[in-house]
Structure 1
Amino acid sequence: MAGNSDPLSPRAKLAVTAGKAVAAASRAAGRGSGSVIGGRVALKLDPDLLGELAQHLDVVLVSGTNGKTTTTRLIAESLRAAGPVVSNALGANMPAGITSALAEGSESRFGVIEVDEKYLSGVARDVEPKAIALLNLSRDQLDRAAETRMLAEHWREGLAGSKAVVIANADDPLVVWAASSSPNVVWVAAGQMWLDDAWSCPACGGVMQRPGDDWFCGQCGFRRPTPSWALSGDHVLDPHGSAWPIHLQLPGRANKANATTSAAVAAVFGVPPQVALERMYQVQAVAGRYDVVNFMGRELRLLLAKNPAGWLETFSLIEQPPTPVILSVNARAADGTDTSWLWDVDYTRLTGHPLFVIGDRRLDLAVRLEVAGQTFQVCQSVDEAVQLAPAGRIETIANYTAFQDLRRRVGN
């Protein structure tokens, strides 16, 4: 595949040129990066463009509810040890954004592409990936993708008979069930903190048994596969039993799990774990996530959490009380307009922290915190919250569009 670059058809070239022109006009008008609108225009002119742009690349697709953007970045850094990489590093992960990203990669050897869960099967059909990383599946935008088992079923159907090597999380029953239709699966023990979407068997609906780190269905026998890669403390265990130290600038257990999956993907392309993990150390922040910024004379750490599983992982990063915490929630189209997921989050984990609530849906969050017995203040803006916060670094946790609002305001 890689290196046998077929020139694009005249129609494809026209589509790419038009897409780039529209994207440039969008940027000039101050309407963001223009990658989505540019990609839409290009795909309208040539519906087969995605496949054409990918034909000379060894493609990796990365999908899951949480950790896609970070894992995509870690894999891209790892594979740069073996050749040039094109990637949708800023997370425009639907076909239009992916098309725009690949249009920049004519000289690249690898394409490392984050894909929205709903679009995975279609994109995999178009670009014929060499590897697909499946991270996790949990409840997310309830108005857009309410049923996790249905998503798993789409994946299972879409991956059946795929020629790709599927690198899948052995600790998530929904992912295991989805990946089991693939002929070539590498199982990774990446862990799973959030269990509320995995109590019933995706194969038969029976009750899942969970002794220790294991899981199995007591009715049909569907069970956790034996992983060949595993996260063990601060080390990646490879299929040969060697332990490789993980040195990341990104915080938390979830990012060590992302690094373990990324090392398993890199190995598919011949990059050894030691090399892959060393390169991952370069990543300090991902599209603003985990950045520490100075704002109004205070240090703020920016944390993104879009759904209950993400909030649970993020709470584990927060330093002990009395560290002040700003919570910001919106419910715009990109977030999902249904905020009932707030009731699935265990906010008692924030007990003892001074809490400040901002965002479009701050009153929804305030009601939830009230019921959880938390003490908090509702503020009109991040400026007001920072002024009221006691001394020390401030942790800020925001969902998707609230995070973008926050970054714009604090100059990140």
Structure 2
Amino acid sequence: MAGNSEPLSPRAKLAVTAGKAAAAVSRAAGRGSGSVIGGRVALKLDPDLLARLAAHLDVVLVSATNGKTTTTRLIAEALRATGEEVVSNALGANMPAGITSALAGGSKARYGVIEVDEKYLAGVARDVTPKAIALLNLSRDQLDRAAETRMLAERWREGLAGSKAVIIANADDPLVVWAASSSANVVWVAAGQEWKDDAWSCPSCGGVMQRPGDDWLCGECGFRRPTPTWALSGDHVLDPHGSAWPIRLQLPGRANKANATTSAAVAAAFGVPPQVALERMYSVQAVAGRYDVVNYLGRDIRLLLAKNPAGWLETFSLIDPPPAPVILAVNARGADGTDTSWLWDVDYSRLAGHPIRVIGDRRLDLAVRLEVAGVDFQVFDTAEEAVRACPPGRIEAIANYTAFQDLRRAVGN
């Protein structure tokens, strides 16, 4: 158990107060939650503030290319079953400034459940001394500035070497396994890997991966899938004792069952039984607007976030079958990454039979890709026009990061 909270130094208190004031000004100006600017101000005044704020917490870090915001939320719910207070960056501000802002509001909490951007994981782990770290997946994302996935895995591997944390890692992702293998205490989870295009070469030696069935191994150096102790099996979580626990979620899709499986393994590391953890997860209906269904212009629009090829692949498996209309929205602003070449890695032929409406800053880039894929689509300048072009009833709306925020504002969510 983490010790009692040490009183913050005068400098740290000043930093927290100044950060909260900056955040309040940002909110009043209509510039979002203010968590990032507030954290930046606080860290400028006290560069060690993140470590000080985490000192009294049992911290869980969650990192991945996809699914980290949802998994963070599920773990936080599971740990609340202990009756203890949990502080978390629930809205996904996952770099040091946003994390600092979140922890500044958790002086009475016992647990800190923190989503961390993949590039910052090693540094944040060094600052907050986590009790557990969940590693879900690694795949290509934000190609204009993110490190190539193998380099990212190497950064994780070096940063986690010698960590005393329990590492809860996806045994089905070779990059995650290689990154986690430098750690002494790893719990392997068979969470699955739908997207395999970033894991065809061995991260250890560069050899070609072989994938017999659900297994994987490198024929050249012998690097291979470890034996998991937790597993997703259909609609159940299999625990280390072989017991099967039903997953009942309001969140859709196989990917969220995988997130729940990892979350149950993390909760168990803190003494929460799988049955209790999974029951708590049922209360989560949406995560930062994702999966929300919004009524707009007489249509029910389900909002789905997909930021990269792996995320789009998972999302296509969630949507209602044809002829359900689908709105696709793509931007390429700073938070999205400005390189849209990843659109060519997505198999849009899976949308055949759906009436497709295309919006967003980069709608013409997406239109060219859909044209090549041979699916029918129409391009619109605004969300309102795209929605009016759909018949009354349900619409599936899939958007990348800033396009998702634009869409939420447009439909009043």
Normalising by structure 1, we get a TM-score of 0.99
Q: Which residues in structure 2 correspond to 1:12-411 (within 5 Å)? A: 12-82=12-82, 83-411=84-412
Report the Cα offset of residue 391 of structure 1: 4.1
Report the Cα offset of residue 225 of structure 1: 0.2
Distance 2:295 2:22 in 1: 35
Distance 2:26 2:393 in 1: 40
Q: In the alignment, is the contact (CA less than 8 A) between 2:133 and 2:167 conserved in 1?
A: yes
Q: In the alignment, is the contact (CA less than 8 A) between 1:207 and 1:217 conserved in 2?
A: yes
Alpha-carbon displacement from aligned partner over 1:219-268 (angstroms, at most 9, x marks no partner): 00000000000000000000000000000000000000000000000001
- Quote the RMSD (CA, aligned, Å): 0.6
Distance 2:285 2:392 in 1: 25
Distance 1:186 1:16 in 2: 36
Aligned twin of 2:10: 10
Segments of 5+ residues of structure 1 without an aligned counterpart are none
Alpha-carbon displacement from aligned partner over 1:363-409 (angstroms, at most 9, x marks no partner): 00000000001110000111111111134310000000000000011
Distance 1:32 1:209 in 2: 46
- One-letter amino acid of the structure 2 residue matched with residue 287 of structure 1: A
Alpha-carbon displacement from aligned partner over 1:13-54 (angstroms, at most 9, x marks no partner): 110011011111111111111110000000000000000000
Distance 1:73 1:62 in 2: 10
Q: In the alignment, is the contact (CA less than 8 A) between 1:70 and 1:258 conserved in 2?
A: yes
Distance 1:5 1:299 in 2: 46
Distance 2:27 2:389 in 1: 36
Distance 1:288 1:23 in 2: 21
Deviation beyond 6 Å, 4+ runs, structure 1: none
Q: In the alignment, is the contact (CA less than 8 A) between 2:171 and 2:177 conserved in 1?
A: yes
What secondary structure is seen at the aligned counterpart in 2 of 1:236? strand
Report how many aligned residue pairs link the two structures. 412
- One-letter amino acid of the structure 2 residue matched with residue 65 of structure 1: T
Normalising by structure 2, we get a TM-score of 0.99
Segments of 5+ residues of structure 2 without an aligned counterpart are none
Distance 1:19 1:148 in 2: 34
Distance 2:324 2:392 in 1: 8
Report the Cα offset of residue 213 of structure 1: 0.3
Q: In the alignment, is the contact (CA less than 8 A) between 2:298 and 2:393 conserved in 1?
A: no
Distance 1:24 1:67 in 2: 29
Q: Among all aligned residue pairs of Structure 1 and Structure 2, give the percentage whose two residues are the same amino acid.
A: 87
What secondary structure is seen at the aligned counterpart in 2 of 1:313? helix
Distance 1:5 1:19 in 2: 20
Distance 1:386 1:93 in 2: 32
What secondary structure is seen at the aligned counterpart in 2 of 1:393? strand
What secondary structure is seen at the aligned counterpart in 2 of 1:278? helix
Report the Cα offset of residue 146 of structure 1: 4.1
Distance 1:374 1:310 in 2: 20
Alpha-carbon displacement from aligned partner over 1:108-135 (angstroms, at most 9, x marks no partner): 0000000000000000000000000000
Distance 1:47 1:277 in 2: 38
Distance 2:240 2:10 in 1: 46
Distance 2:199 2:305 in 1: 23
Distance 1:311 1:56 in 2: 39
Report the Cα offset of residue 61 of structure 1: 0.2
Report the Cα offset of residue 2 of structure 1: 2.1
Distance 2:33 2:146 in 1: 26
Q: In the alignment, is the contact (CA less than 8 A) between 1:324 and 1:392 conserved in 2?
A: no
What secondary structure is seen at the aligned counterpart in 1 of 2:40? helix
Q: In the alignment, is the contact (CA less than 8 A) between 2:80 and 2:86 conserved in 1?
A: yes
Q: In the alignment, is the contact (CA less than 8 A) between 2:140 and 2:308 conserved in 1?
A: yes
